């Protein structure tokens, strides 16, 4: 099996290209509860996932998801409002298909966000963390399968998955806007269970500062195609703690919603200086 289905990809890209007027510069994927940036996009085209040929369709009724095109701070973007998680049962090809589409449409930059559990001792609920590096603990790799050298190399280099110059720029913008941001290592795993205390401890020992159930597959596929990547986690719960460690999806969404405006501001400001 090919790791990219070129026929399907080209069909999807042709369908979209016939409807957009400008080439997107950045592809943006928003994490759970982090949809705030949707309000900052000057939308020129909105496509429902179910109307786009070959696009994965949401498993949850009424939460169809949209692919939005438009400008943020003067930059052309394409935004995925509603991402596909591996734990929902999608294949890795389906989870990462939107990134292939964004890249094929011309996007050079991939901006991703997620809700994550914090493990660094200085992290509090609601904090922002720029992702400097990641550890891939998903059980399946999105690039498994016959490789198409026209898209990317068989063995992609991953020494700098998250562009250091973008982290640098975002850090200055955060200081300018009085927003506290951390930097750290994101560990991606499949979920859908939150981690046990022992698992959080393990993930911290192996070098993780935050843990979540997304992002890594999309970043790998973006890098495979040659995209530059900027990633940010919102710490929605703190895994390493001694008291009873109950985490709920509601708690995660609430914390994400509170942090979303700060994250949206940084994404917007960063786009403005690129
Ligand atoms: N673990 C995994 N995924 C998450 C968490 C967590 O603690 N918080 C938000 N997403």
Q: 186-201, pLDDT tens digit by residue?
A: 999 999 999 998 999 9
CATH code given to domain 6-272: 3.40.50.1580
| pLDDT for the residue numbered 65 | 86
What three-state secondary structure class fits 112?
strand
- Higher per-residue pLDDT: 248 or 144: 144
- Minimum CA distance residue for ligand 1 atom 2: 212
Q: 29-81, pLDDT tens digit by residue?
A: 988 777 778 888 989 999 999 999 999 986 655 455 899 999 999 999 999 98
Q: Could you state, in order of their start, the residue ranges of all structural domains in the chain?
A: 6-272
> What's the average model confidence in pLDDT over 254-259?
83
Q: How far is the CA of 153 from the centre of ligand 1 (A)?
A: 31
Task: Give DSSP secondary structure letters for 49-107.
Answer: GGGSTT----SSTT---EEEEEEETTEEEEEEES---GGGT--HHHHHHHHHHHHHTT-
- Minimum CA distance residue for ligand 1 atom 9: 116
- Minimum CA distance residue for ligand 1 atom 6: 117
pLDDT higher than threshold 90 for residue 252: no
- Higher per-residue pLDDT: 6 or 101: 101
Which atom of ligand 1 lies at the shortest distance from residue 247's CA? Answer: 7
pLDDT higher than threshold 80 for residue 5: yes
| pLDDT for the residue numbered 34 | 73
Whole-Å CA distances, 37 to 8, 65, 126, 151, 188: 29, 15, 17, 30, 23
Query: Which residues have C-beta atoms less than 6 Å from ligand 1?
Result: 115-117, 191, 194-195, 211-213, 236-237, 239, 247, 252
Q: Tell me the sheet residues that pair with 117.
A: 211, 237
- Listed range (105-114, 118-127, 161-170, 240-249) with the worst mean pLDDT: 240-249
């Amino acid at each position: 099996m090919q790791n990219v289905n070129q026929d399907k990809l080209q069909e999807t890209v042709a369908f979209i290209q016939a409807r957009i007027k400008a080439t997107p510069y950045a592809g943006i994927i928003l994490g759970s509860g982090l949809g705030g940036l949707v309000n900052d996009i000057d939308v020129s085209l909105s496509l429902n996932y179910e109307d786009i040929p070959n696009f994965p369709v949401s498993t949850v009724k009424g939460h169809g998801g949209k692919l939005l095109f438009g400008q943020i701070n003067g930059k052309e973007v394409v935004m995925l409002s509603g991402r596909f998680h591996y734990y929902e049962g999608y294949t890795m090809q389906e989870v990462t298909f939107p990134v292939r589409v964004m890249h094929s449409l011309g996007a050079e930059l991939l901006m991703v966000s997620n809700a994550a559990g914090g493990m660094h001792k200085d992290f509090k609920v609601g904090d922002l963390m720029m992702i400097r590096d990641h550890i891939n603990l998903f059980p399946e790799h999105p690039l498994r399968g016959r490789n198409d050298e026209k898209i990317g190399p068989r063995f992609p280099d991953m020494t700098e998955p998250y562009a250091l110059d973008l982290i640098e720029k975002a850090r200055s913008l955060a200081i300018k806007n009085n927003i506290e941001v951390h930097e750290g290592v994101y560990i991606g795993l499949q979920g859908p269970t939150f981690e046990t205390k022992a698992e959080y401890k393990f993930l911290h020992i192996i070098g993780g500062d935050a843990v979540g159930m997304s992002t890594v597959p999309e970043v790998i596929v973006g890098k495979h195609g040659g995209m530059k990547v900027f990633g940010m986690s919102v710490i929605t719960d703190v895994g390493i703690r001694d008291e009873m460690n109950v985490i709920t999806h509601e708690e995660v969404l609430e914390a994400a919603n509170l942090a979303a405006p700060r994250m949206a501001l940084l994404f917007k400001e960063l786009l403005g200086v690129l």
